[in-house]
Structure 1
Amino acid sequence: MDLTTVSPKYQVVIPKRVREQFGLAPGQQLQVLALPGRIELVPSQPPAALRGFLQGDNTFQREPDRL
């Protein structure tokens, strides 16, 4: 487990091992989730980064009146 300390300005440093594991870069945004008893930081991804994450053929059938 990695530990970090909250600075007097309420800043924290993400340990190097964690930054490398998640490929974090300077300036990258993180979502801050306040959950019961813990805080989670989730790397935010631009919509373009999600392109193609679903594999396989598109089997979605549109209704004829909604083309």
Structure 2
Amino acid sequence: MPDIATLSAKFQISIPKAVRAAHRWQAGQEFAFIPKGAGVLLVPVPKPAELAGIAKGAKARDYRDRKDRF
């Protein structure tokens, strides 16, 4: 059975401990809410330091054909 949480009168939801532990989420971490059909996708927002080096070796030059622009 999936973990269940209840929306409080202040519109807050506590994330179950098993889910927090499985994803290693910490207090104060930011999340983005993305509407997805009848539900919502909860995605952690990465900090800039976590993105360092993500595009290492990528070259912006000759990446895209410039002829497709009008």
TM-score scaled by length of structure 2: 0.70
- Could you list the structure 1 runs, at least 4 aligned residues long, displaced by more than 6 angstroms after superposition: none
- Which residue identity does 2:33 align to in structure 1? V
| Structure 2 counterpart of 1:37 | 38
Query: Structure 1: which 5+ residue stretches go unaligned?
Result: none
Q: Deviations over 1:3-32 (max 9, x none)?
A: 100001110000001111111111110011
Aligned partner of residue 12 in structure 1, secondary structure: coil
> What is the percentage of aligned positions where both structures have the same residue?
33
| Structure 2 counterpart of 1:17 | 18
Q: Deviations over 1:22-63 (max 9, x none)?
A: 1111111001111211011101111210224468xx373847
- Which residue identity does 1:60 align to in structure 2? K
The CA RMSD measured in Å over matched residues stands at 2.1
Aligned partner of residue 19 in structure 1, secondary structure: helix
Q: How does 1:37-56 map to 2 (within 5 A)?
A: 37-53=38-54
